[in-house]
Chain A
């Protein structure tokens, strides 16, 4: 690093600050500022259109009734509840596993060990696998091999595998943020490694871990491909009663009524998109607010 710095700095001639250079600097600052703005503005416009066209469809009845007339009218109740089912069950699977994996990586594993490198590589790859490949493997593993059938359980497990890296990475970061001195103080009292984790490290990292989990909820709620073949159905006239049933889901419902069902009045898909978008936005805002609160309370 020192060598690199000496090398890059060698290009420089010491020079007085002149007007021309300062103008160039101002120019680039404006240019990059515009680029940042251009990244945000189209999306804000799109969101505006989404709200404008979707808002008329929203009502209490829209959220609490079944779709009717071959899904060209009515509400989204079964899709909304289905999404809650899928997210809840996938959390039950991925949170304990992901947090435990993060504890291993942060508290037990030696950072330079080859196995730790392998785990990190696997986590990166798990996050990078295309969602449709997760869907095919979820079908191959949970639906066909473990004979769970197309069910909430199979779909949730597929989602859980897909969102696991998010939980691992965010939990690992919050565990790492707990100062090493806390652990050493606890060990010096004669506590075992597990007692230290249980009574000192975890309580201090808890809010951070929670932030990551909330983020994962929003991700799981919006996924479509992984649940398409593993447990979500285009249309069901009833609500699921157990995790072995199929279910409708909000994300898949949006896909279905925009591409598979002809002549749906425009405001319904816009309404569904707005609800889905709203849920994701709300959950994410909670996560961000929690993180900011955490940062303001930080004692070390």
Chain B
């Protein structure tokens, strides 16, 4: 049967249809449209309001070289306040790196198991458990890092403090893993079954099907899952604040305490006088964070779009 556009919604057989119902319809169309574009309004709003608070500092005071290249963040120094974020960028990067090293292999492994091997009840239970893991609040994760993993690291590796890159990385890895797993699983599920059947018909085992057909076909989706995981680990606040030790150094090993960009805002924004240089510098970090996550999300979206346009 042809799917011809049937009757135009709302047009009665007689007249042009401009009765009370027509006006109600138009009203709701407009209302839904206004709500529909709210997401755009909010993203712009976030940028504008963070920028507005930090603009004065960025325009008049900010030394770009110092902001990006100096590790010295001394906003409260009376003699010469410096606003360098290098140590925090290094800290955030180190933690994100460890988190991905922990999360990516396990998430992809789990995703392949769920999508290609597991069946029936096992599959359902794994999916539900992983979904529940994704729901644990970040402050509870931070608490776990502080009270459970911290003493564990001190005991296992014989180091003076367990609040360090390793701890925060592990926590962020465990946090990001369920999300990466479910996105990666979706990407694997999106590969048409006809691909698998065609390969199986040629005598391939299930592993050969996965390795040589499914994974290459899903690679963009998997890459985008990894990127979203990076974005998540990078932007995480409470858990890093509690588990990383909050020390302003460029980490030399996984047992060094670090301070993350996000954690700095969380720890200091409440205690600075509104409008001061320090306050504005924190919003400048906010803009920096916003720009990076925006960039990561855009790339992830472009990668996914790449598959669809193929």
Contact = CB atoms under 8 A, between A and B. Distances in A.
B193 to A, nearest CB: 12
Contact of B109 (A36, A103, A125): A36
Contacts, number: 330
B105 interface: yes
B199 A32 contact: no
Interface string B81-120: 0000000000000000000000001110110111001100
Contact of A224 (B128, B213, B238): B238
B228 interface: yes
B306 to A, nearest CB: 12
Interface string A139-168: 111001100000000000000010011001
Contacts of A195: 21, 25
Contacts of B252: none
Interface residues of A, number: 109
A193 B9 contact: yes
A80 interface: no
Interface stretch (A13-21, A58-66, A68-76, A238-246): A13-21
Contact of B6 (A128, A188, A273): A188
A229 B110 contact: no
Contact of A187 (B7, B28, B32, B238): B7
A90 B301 CA distance: 28
Interface SS, B side = helix
B198 interface: yes
A13 B208 CA distance: 11
A132 B32 contact: no
A255 B242 contact: yes
Given A25-B205, A108-B36, A251-B139, A258 B144 contact: no
Interface residues of B, number: 110
B156 interface: no
B62 interface: no
Contacts of B208: 21, 25
Interface in A101-118: 101, 103-105, 107-109, 115, 118
Nearest to B12: A190
A285 B36 CA distance: 30
Interface string B284-310: 001001100110111011000000001
A39 B203 contact: no
B22 A192 contact: yes
Interface in A165-188: 165, 168, 183-184, 187-188
Nearest to A15: B203
6 contacts: A103-B35, A104-B35, A134-B46, A140-B50, A145-B52, A224-B137
Given A108-B32, A139-B53, A224-B139, 17 more contacts: A1-B310, A5-B194, A22-B205, A40-B129, A46-B148, A109-B36, A125-B294, A132-B286, A133-B46, A133-B50, A136-B283, A191-B9, A192-B9, A192-B21, A194-B24, A228-B269, A269-B143
